[in-house]
Amino acid sequence: MIKIVAVGKIKEKYFVDGIQEYIKRLGPYTKIEIIEVPDGACAPNASIAEQELVKQKEGDAILSKIKEDEVVICLDLHGKNYNSLEISKKLEEISTYQSSKVTFTIAGSMGYSEKVIQRANLRWCLSNCTFPHQIVRLLLVEQIYRSYKIRKNENYHK
């Protein structure tokens, strides 16, 4: 079982359609659930204290959707870089030795609260580039799908 807990809602139909396509493709391999938690409103000129408050609120919302028996992978610019083969192997190791329940998290625009970072079992830097959250969610479901194709030794058209 794969769960994605993401801050914010995707409004653009083309992103929703792309994500749904990969969820459909994942059907034979695993169940996948996407949970959206509200993003905190923060003025562009907000103080550091106000930004921290928003991060804490978003972090608490993320943590409220995670159960104790889930392995948590935070998508984080400060995480470790894994290529597709490496993340596939890592996910296989997790499902074999730790838990069949893997939860990926996607933070809001200000990043994670310290509580979420502490809860993470793994921090994965999806790319050294910065992407909008909608693209990150699409890239994540594609990489999860690719991971299963690799694990099953099946062709994946590039």
**Domain CATH for 7:** 3.40.1280.10
CA-CA-CA-CA dihedral for 121, 77, 52, 74, to nearest 10 = -30
Which residues contact residue 54 at a Cβ distance below 8 angstroms, ignoring those fewer than 6 apart?
Answer: 40, 41, 42, 46, 108, 110
In a domain, 17, yes or no: yes
If DSSP codes are grouped into helix, strand and coil, which group holds residue 11?
coil
Between the alpha carbon of residue 93 and those of residues 26, 99, 113, 118, 133, the distances in Å are 19, 9, 27, 21, 27
Binding-site residues from annotation: 75, 107
Q: Is the pTM of this model over 0.75?
A: yes
Residue 101 lies inside a defined structural domain of this protein: yes
110 belongs to a structural domain: yes
CA–CA gap between residue 65 and residue 114 (Å, rounded): 16
114 lies in some domain: yes
**Binding annotation for S-adenosyl-L-methionine:** 75, 107
pLDDT per position as a tens digit, 82-97: 999 999 999 999 999 9
Closest Cα partner for 112 from 98, 100, 124? 124
pLDDT-derived band at 43, boundaries 50, 70, 90: confident
Q: What is the rounded average pLDDT of the residues 110-133?
A: 94
- Alpha carbon distance 106, 138 (integer Å): 11
Q: Is 116 inside any structural domain?
A: yes
**Alpha carbon 120 to chain centroid distance?**
11
Mean pLDDT of 72-84: 96
Mean pLDDT within 51-62: 96
Domain total for the chain?
1
- Measured between its terminal Cα atoms, the distance across the chain in Å is 25
Provide the percentage of residues in the chain whose pLDDT is more than 90.
87
Q: What is the pLDDT of residue 157?
A: 64
Q: What domain range includes position 116?
A: 2-151
